[in-house]
Chain A
Amino acid sequence: MVIDWVLVLEWVVKSILLVFILLTGFAYTTFYERKLAALIQLRIGPNRAGPGGWLQPAADGVKLIFKEEFTPAEAYKFVFVLAPIITVVPAIVIMAVVPWGDMVNLFGRMVPLYLADINVAVLYILSVASVSVYGIVLAGWASNNKYAMLGGLRSSAQMLSYELALGLAFIGPILIAGSMSLMDIVEAQRNVWFIVYQPLGAIIFYIAMLAEVNRAPFDMPEAEQELTAGYHTEYSGMKFSLFFMGEYIKMAAVSGIFASLFLGGFRGPFVDQLPGLGPLYFFLKIVASLGVMIWIRATMPRLRYDRLMAFGWKVLLPLALLNVLVTAVVIVALGL
């Protein structure tokens, strides 16, 4: 077997670049959230650290690193340390199959702007998403704390329930594009974005993905009056910031997946002439999707837990099934 070392180097560079962008992007997503929420709620937001508050994420990072690490005496130590890691890793690796551009010519070599274009990309996303539940459920258990345990069980039950609607919402774009590869799905949206064909699917996907990343109005872990801080009650310092990081990276990752499935991914005007525009369009779409998430958080109250579960099972799941049925019938009827 001949190994193309340049190809290996290309993959390594792209992987490191992706991880680096996600890890620094996370810090500025928190800043974006605080600034935008402040704008919506007529506040000022962070404005002390650096010009216009732009160094706030760095200050937060330094603060979290130097905070005391505390582990409860009766905690299950190994799992307690493992849980934050299990939360962050899926959030990062899920982006591996999301294309952020087409081929570009770099130093006389055609370099694809995606890590892996596999024919089961959608299944890969679903399996990584289903594994990410473990971080939360194990954190709740290992803390040996009633609030953490209840918070962990609630969040993971919520994620499991909404995963079904999420999975069914994937089927619309798959049926229209006739492929499970995200590259093919993006390619099929060359002329019309799938949000036009699949408005219901897109809405279901967006709601389910909010629940999947535990964002408002489904942010059960932060229901202080019931659960203090839910599954991360006992976490502090760097371990807490890993959960924090996991949440924000997941926000960016699911936004990227949403953009690829329904908003045409990296496709936009003049991408065929200038492939370098692809990542820019993709980035703008992610920022827009994140903006809507923050907008929802700044304006919506939190759902009560039983209503949240009832909504997921009795409204979202039947609607998603109906969407799959209608899409399939229409595709067969039109002979696409």
Chain B
Amino acid sequence: MNGELILFFVLAIVAISAALGMLFSRNAVYSALFLILNFATVAVFFLLLGAPFIAMAQVTVYAGAIMVLFLFVIMLLGAEQIQHQARRGWQRPLAMLLTLVLLAESAYLIFTRSDVLTVLQPAAADYGSPQSIGMLLFSEYLLPFEVTSILLLAAMVGAIVLVKEDKKSGGQK
């Protein structure tokens, strides 16, 4: 057993326990904190795979930006404590059914199509470096990149329009 494998298993245990902690925590703030821990662990996985750029982007975007906004919303709405509200009765059986289908599909794939699951070759030295990602984004993946930016712009404009005060009807209602 080499060091990398030990590290992988330790990280995997941390990641899975953080995910479980997020699901079972009764307090929404603790759930958010568990999710942040999970994102951080995934970032370390990317580092192990030799992709520091993606690891840093993972921490900055998910752990640093998105989860802070999540925490803001949870704290401002005072939604920390889960209330025992009436659940829709059909949700639980449906969730169980879908999970079983997913598990069966994965099991089928793993046991019948094991030929596609070969050991991956280690990545090239400059794989995932800022330069190579930039070159790929602006050449091969230019169209998806631009489409994404237009989508983000539309979301931004939409958010601004939603919170803008309506001048004609005399400000806030």
Chain A interface (Cβ < 8 Å from any Cβ of B): 1, 76, 79, 118-120, 123-124, 126-127, 129-131, 133-134, 137-138, 141, 149, 153, 156-157, 160, 180
Kindly identify, within residues 45 to 67 of chain B, every residue whose CB is under 8 Å from any CB belonging to chain A: 52-53, 56-57, 59-60, 63-65
Q: Check B76–A153 contact: CB distance below 8 A.
A: yes
Q: Check A127–B68 contact: CB distance below 8 A.
A: no
Q: Check A133–B3 contact: CB distance below 8 A.
A: no
Q: Check B60–A156 contact: CB distance below 8 A.
A: no
Q: Check B60–A79 contact: CB distance below 8 A.
A: no
Q: Check A130–B64 contact: CB distance below 8 A.
A: yes
In the complex, what residues of A have CB within 8 A of residue B2's CB?
A: 1
CB distance from B26 to the nearest CB of A (A): 12
Q: Check A134–B29 contact: CB distance below 8 A.
A: no
In the complex, what residues of A have CB within 8 A of residue B36's CB?
A: 134
Chain B interface (Cβ < 8 Å from any Cβ of A): 2-3, 29, 33, 36, 52-53, 56-57, 59-60, 63-65, 68, 71-72, 75-76, 129-130
How far, in angstroms, from A303 to B75 measured CA to CA in the complex? 25
In the complex, what residues of B have CB within 8 A of residue A156's CB?
A: 68, 72
Out of B53, B60, B68, B129, name the residue touching A137 (CB < 8 Å). B68
| Given contact pairs A1-B2, A118-B52, A137 touches B64 in the complex (Cβ within 8 A) | no
| Given contact pairs A1-B2, A119-B130, A133-B68, A124 touches B56 in the complex (Cβ within 8 A) | yes
In the complex, what residues of B have CB within 8 A of residue A134's CB?
A: 36, 68, 71
Q: Check A153–B72 contact: CB distance below 8 A.
A: yes
Residue of B nearest to A129 (CB): B64
Majority DSSP secondary structure for residues of B touching A:
helix
Q: Check A137–B72 contact: CB distance below 8 A.
A: yes
| Given contact pairs A1-B3, A119-B52, A126 touches B60 in the complex (Cβ within 8 A) | yes
In the complex, what residues of A have CB within 8 A of residue B71's CB?
A: 134, 137-138, 141
Q: Check A130–B130 contact: CB distance below 8 A.
A: no
CB distance from B46 to the nearest CB of A (A): 11
In the complex, what residues of A have CB within 8 A of residue B129's CB?
A: 119
In the complex, what residues of A have CB within 8 A of residue B75's CB?
A: 137, 141, 149, 153
Q: Which of A79, A119, A127, A157 has the most CB of B within 10 A?
A: A127
How far, in angstroms, from A171 to B60 measured CA to CA in the complex? 16
Majority DSSP secondary structure for residues of A touching B:
helix
Out of B53, B64, B76, name the residue touching A133 (CB < 8 Å). B64
In the complex, what residues of A have CB within 8 A of residue B3's CB?
A: 1
- Ordered by A's residue number, 16 sampled pairs between the chains whose C-beta atoms are within 8 Å are A1-B2, A76-B29, A119-B52, A119-B129, A123-B60, A126-B56, A126-B64, A127-B64, A130-B60, A131-B59, A131-B64, A137-B68, A141-B75, A149-B75, A153-B75, A153-B76
Q: Check A160–B68 contact: CB distance below 8 A.
A: yes
In the complex, what residues of A have CB within 8 A of residue B65's CB?
A: 130, 160
In the complex, what residues of B have CB within 8 A of residue A129's CB?
A: 64
CB distance from B20 to the nearest CB of A (A): 18
How far, in angstroms, from A127 to B3 measured CA to CA in the complex? 26
Q: Check A120–B53 contact: CB distance below 8 A.
A: yes
In the complex, what residues of B have CB within 8 A of residue A131's CB?
A: 59, 63-64
In the complex, what residues of B have CB within 8 A of residue A123's CB?
A: 53, 56-57, 60, 130
* 8 closest Cβ pairs, A-B complex: A130-B64, A123-B56, A127-B59, A127-B60, A120-B52, A127-B56, A120-B56, A130-B60
